[in-house]
């Protein structure tokens, strides 16, 4: 009888780990903060009408209290805003702000009444005053008066005051005051300080003298 030789066989079973998903993931969230600016009238500070007490003999117009006031908030360092002014001349609103980086002047013209405004000063009156650096008087500046315009700028907290400059028009005259801001909040007050040079005299007849001031993020 023939016997078969038994040969032991080792059966190896390998347990292979299955492929699982990664055990962590990262998500990046980006939030875009746009530049932002808000310009509003400071209604608690501004004084937009005043009755004058002229003394034509002394060339004095009385104590001035009228002023425009603004609150400005921006989050952009280097943001620029512009102060401009216009007065009525021959039924057209003309630029009436002039000066330099240090001094600022504004011209008001006689519109008759605020309710039913007339034509204002004659054509060329504003240019006569500006060209004479405020000293144009008599018939050359009939129904138009130039004033020194003060600029009181108060940053909130420990903020930094803006840099002042001017934006010129095509002929080189001042079209607007330019304020370069730092991020923060500002209170800006533009007040009538005094009558400028000899622009006030008896050729400035009774009526409502008006100028329209605008503080804007957009250049005029």
Most confident range (mean pLDDT) of 12-16, 65-69, 195-199 is 65-69
The answer for residues whose C-beta is within 8 angstroms of residue 84's C-beta and 6 or more apart is: 95, 97, 175, 176, 177, 213, 214, 216, 220
Q: Are 174 and 85 in contact (CB under 8 A)?
A: no
The answer for residues whose C-beta is within 8 angstroms of residue 29's C-beta and 6 or more apart is: none
Q: pTM value?
A: 0.85
Element spanning 69, H or E: strand 67-74
CA distance 95 to 89: 10
Query: Per-residue pLDDT tens for 161-218?
Result: 899 998 877 566 668 999 999 999 999 999 999 998 788 989 999 999 999 999 999 9
**Can you give the pLDDT at residue 135?**
75
**Can you give the pLDDT at residue 4?**
47
The domain ranges of the chain are 37-47+68-216
**Can you give the pLDDT at residue 137?**
81
């Amino acid at each position: 009888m023939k016997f078969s030789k038994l040969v032991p066989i080792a059966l190896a079973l390998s347990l292979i780990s299955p492929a699982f998903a990664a055990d962590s993931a990262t998500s990046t969230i980006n939030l875009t903060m746009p530049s932002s600016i808000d310009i509003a009238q400071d209604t608690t500070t501004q004084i937009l009408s005043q009755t004058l007490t002229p003394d034509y003999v002394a060339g004095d117009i009385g104590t001035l209290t009228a002023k425009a006031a603004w609150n400005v908030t921006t989050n952009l360092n280097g943001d620029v805003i512009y102060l401009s002014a216009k007065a009525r001349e021959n039924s057209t609103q003309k630029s009436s702000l002039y000066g330099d980086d240090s001094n600022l002047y504004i011209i008001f013209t006689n519109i008759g009444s605020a309710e039913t405004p007339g034509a204002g000063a004659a054509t060329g009156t504003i240019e006569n005053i500006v060209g004479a650096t405020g000293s144009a008087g008599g018939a050359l500046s009939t129904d138009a008066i130039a004033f020194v315009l003060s600029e009181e700028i108060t940053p909130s907290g420990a903020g930094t005051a803006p840099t002042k400059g001017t934006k010129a028009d095509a002929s080189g005259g001042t079209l607007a005051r330019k304020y370069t801001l730092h991020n923060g909040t500002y209170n800006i007050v533009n007040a009538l300080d005094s009558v400028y040079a000899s622009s006030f005299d008896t050729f400035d007849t009774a009526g409502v003298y008006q100028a329209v001031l605008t503080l804007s993020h957009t250049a005029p």
